[in-house]
Structure 1
């Protein structure tokens, strides 16, 4: 079949999760690949509860009441797996004995993930705080470093309204001492109505540990400043998946993968190869996402292709690519094969090959995490139908930070606030015969710091996790150009006609039914704007009547990383319930796996941080 052109968006996020079988020789490298995913930073919040916190803030409340509000907000909004601890000083001894007062520091909450029980316990403890004593900042910093342990990324967030009243040890000397230990630890400091005499000391703590300093004049600004620090530490892209080691030498020695989500890595400029089973009557979806610590250089290119193994690179089943305009830290693409029965010659043993082409890293570069997603659709998955999560609304509709954690929403308007530099994701289900329109708005305050490239960006991804043009002006980002006030971007409307439908117009990728992902951000801001919280609104409209033709339903593996699994009636055909992604599933190497497992429709992972003022138009090629 001839390839069909389609205009594509460039820039970035696609997450690929592919089920795989690890060969014994690949075990060591697979273990290394697992370590490529950055872990959430462990954070210890150190709160000043000295007697001066009973004074009024600029809003008329006590500083203590304002601090309780701000800390409770952090606890409420912390991701469930975010490790958070809480230490206070000046909270228990109200007397004049300096020796006793300067030893008054306690860890009231160990550094632990914020599950439901930990969250409830932390809020109860915060509600009971009293401010009575001294200000032993230096001693508290030493103890907070112990709270965090000795491994991984760690941060201390210090909130203080004044000078240390207990030196020695001087707080800045303690900060230098911690930095000299060579551990990955930074101290961020918020001066809460701190006098000028205290600011120099507090700023020194931040400066010598490569942390940050900010002033807060009232409870609202304290809440915002704390929110900014924690969002920066937690809400970054976290590559996930079952470790797999793709071959660097072609299809012959590549591991066999089954539906699921997996994590590999690009090394040097080498491509990654995997084997996959697919009969002519089945359809294959493959998506891939590379994750960089910083933005990609302009022109970085990732391609995913699949087809029967042979000479050269496989591409007869699908081929998709995406190119970066720069400023993005994830680069993603994905595609689906066309219906094959009657049009497609079987591959030998029904086994084909997937290649993820790497034009991102070069020899000598650090390894880069790559997520892989593979799904299969056939009559058995079609009979089961997709499993769709319940949409959320209100506060529960706050965006997630990957395809995996994208928040399910339905039609309507959803409002929240995001920090500049964040790129939250939402997901919405769309069927063939329906029309999708997305409108996103942001309110930019009058004192917002801007640069020439500051703007408001919106990207929509189809069910293949392809990023596509928002509208016909080919721009991903609307520049503010020094203006403030309300800005909106409207994407669509798009007719979801069904992939490969002959009646489909030039849809720029939006003819594929399934799960669509929406991502929004204030892009490429001035450095001083990073972390500023701004209100946004997201309006989703899904209109039209679903067509009578059933959309393909893909099985992406029963893998915790994807949040997917078979329907309750699914069976592997050997008496076991359900199916498994990853090595366990792949090891079966059995056609019955995808024949008999039911499919929940796609969750994926990956976060596209929009970059670029305009997107190039690329032609999408699929050979079959």
Structure 2
């Protein structure tokens, strides 16, 4: 398997990076870890359910189509995350199908539940009350559904229909084109329930025009499987999450923040400063992630994100900063970069090994396209000093991948680090991706444990030519330099990426460059991408994936931290407790920057590269060992 690996000597390392995006998911929790992540925001989604007279017809598996659709919606509502923003609209329930009733019937669209935080009982009751009887005004219903959705963020419509629109005008494909041109990111995912080829073509047109997906469900069994898959994709959204913090324009007055995740906003050529206290002998972990606005710019559009951390006396601890570059801003792939300041004696030199308040700045630069103010996630971790045993010796050999042959377990990948789906150990996990999605999973690794995995993409003749990639991230969002990425092209034939692997997690791995990313216990992240495609709009296809995961090793004793430290690293990155920080400020309003859609991809004609290039200006400050 060919891999993109590049190592530059001394101070510069370049690695092709496909950075993140995608999903919410009612993430599972591991047995020994309480999920205390910051709250995830989902894309507001309206389900539009066919209630026309044709839904009284028989389903091939028994019963009526309407009964099958109701059962599928009940199952869907049970599995949706509690914080999902979800509503229900139906059409064709207030008139009959006689010619005399057509004028009224073609306006017959009813909003049964507004889009708001999921109310399972209300939606289930509303679905149970639907009595199919009338016409099929799909175009009119799409307009109605779109009017119910907020216009300041990505939003989605899931349309379930058993036939053609019987009311045009407005033509449903023309309405889809209107939605696509409004400047508001409205994606329509369509499900054809027992439809013929003509209706299937119309529904496919609606989905493809808006960048959504189309799924054909011939019977009740297929519909019950398809509806959760499609709705999950609709809900996935990259909304930066964290405790609101307002960075200062100058180092003086930088707000103090502690371990945790924060959200701010950042314009082009703008610099924000934050201060963090690092104890004597402690380690500071700093990362920043900025989503880019999908659809803006082109292959030549260059965006960058830079972090630097300065000592209490103002000395740079990263020799000038760590910078990420993106040349594909139009794909909406966020930039992410990280830096580490290790004040352990002999590691940094100068004032960068002293206890005190360090100042982090984040600088965003942009070419002409990405000029809007954008949200930024800032993550901070502070590891206590080690005062006793440092644990087992370093280990530079990656763990061995073991093929998993059990039945694949369903999982819903997340659209960001914060919403990553939890994988609970060695297993095969299955998911589905739309073109342009980059989704996240997370695995808890204790001291002494490691992971290896590979990703299998199923064949799909409806899929387009696109880039696929997978990335492996440390708890502080660093990609291991030699075994942290794999990428390839996908043309609808089955494809496999990996295996990728970590070393066993050891504190002393930080003394080895290759192992620096596996020197802290915690959550490790896996990103999986199905690119947008290279020819026009992304194909409206869902591609099934399987992630085969191996977790090796029994937990072992880690380092002995200074009094009050946690050898399990439970509090290094805040565990969602950033609200205790003095840096809390008013949350940036959603009007100040566009909320960024989940869809991301390679775009253009580049098939074998990642979506961004991370330039590590320095791997670590020069060691000052005697």
Relative to the length of structure 2, the TM-score reads: 0.70
Partner of 2:527: 519
In 2: Cα distance, 1:176 partner to 1:609 partner: 21
Could you tell me how far 1:286 is from its partner in structure 2?
1.0
Partner of 1:373: 379
Q: 1:438 to 1:172 in 2, by over 3 A?
A: closer
Stretches of structure 1 that go unaligned for 5 or more consecutive residues are 16-36, 383-392, 567-578, 587-605
Partner of 1:338: 342
Q: 464, 467, 477: which is aligned to 1:465?
A: 477
Deviations 1:364-412 (A, max 9, x none): 8222222101122326999xxxxxxxxxx98674322211112222321
In 2: Cα distance, 1:339 partner to 1:310 partner: 14
In 2: Cα distance, 1:608 partner to 1:332 partner: 17
In 2: Cα distance, 1:431 partner to 1:171 partner: 56
Q: 1:508 to 1:614 in 2, by over 3 A?
A: farther
In 2: Cα distance, 1:495 partner to 1:318 partner: 31
Partner of 2:275: 275
Q: 419, 422, 439: which is aligned to 2:437?
A: 422
Q: Structure 2 matches for 1:78-117, cutoff 5 A? A: 78-91=80-93, 98=101, 105-114=109-118
In 1: Cα distance, 2:599 partner to 2:158 partner: 28
1:50 aligns with 2:41: no
In 2: Cα distance, 1:14 partner to 1:217 partner: 30
Partner of 2:418: 404
In 2: Cα distance, 1:378 partner to 1:317 partner: 23
1:506 aligns with 2:514: yes
1:285 aligns with 2:285: yes
Could you tell me how far 1:524 is from its partner in structure 2?
4.7
Could you tell me how far 1:289 is from its partner in structure 2?
0.9
In 1: Cα distance, 2:59 partner to 2:91 partner: 19
Partner of 1:623: 621
Deviations 1:554-595 (A, max 9, x none): 74676xxxx5239xxxxxxxxxxxx71353599xxxxxxxxx
Q: Is the 8 A contact 1:9 1:322 kept in 2?
A: no
Q: Is the 8 A contact 2:287 2:378 kept in 1?
A: yes
1:438 aligns with 2:439: no
Q: CA RMSD in A?
A: 4.8
Deviations 1:338-362 (A, max 9, x none): 2436876489992221122434456
Secondary structure of the 2:583 match is helix
In 2: Cα distance, 1:505 partner to 1:404 partner: 27
Partner of 2:251: 251
Could you tell me how far 1:50 is from its partner in structure 2?
1.9
Partner of 2:499: 490
Could you tell me how far 1:128 is from its partner in structure 2?
5.6
Q: 1:404 to 1:182 in 2, by over 3 A?
A: closer
Q: Is the 8 A contact 1:319 1:623 kept in 2?
A: no
Deviations 1:45-77 (A, max 9, x none): 222222211324576764334433554454345
Partner of 2:216: 216
Q: Is the 8 A contact 1:50 1:89 kept in 2?
A: yes
Higher mean C-alpha displacement, 274-283 vs 193-202: 193-202
Deviations 1:472-492 (A, max 9, x none): xx8621334x47235242012
Secondary structure of the 2:55 match is helix
Q: Structure 2 matches for 1:519-538, cutoff 5 A? A: 519-525=527-533, 527-538=537-548
Secondary structure of the 1:583 match is coil
In 2: Cα distance, 1:585 partner to 1:270 partner: 19
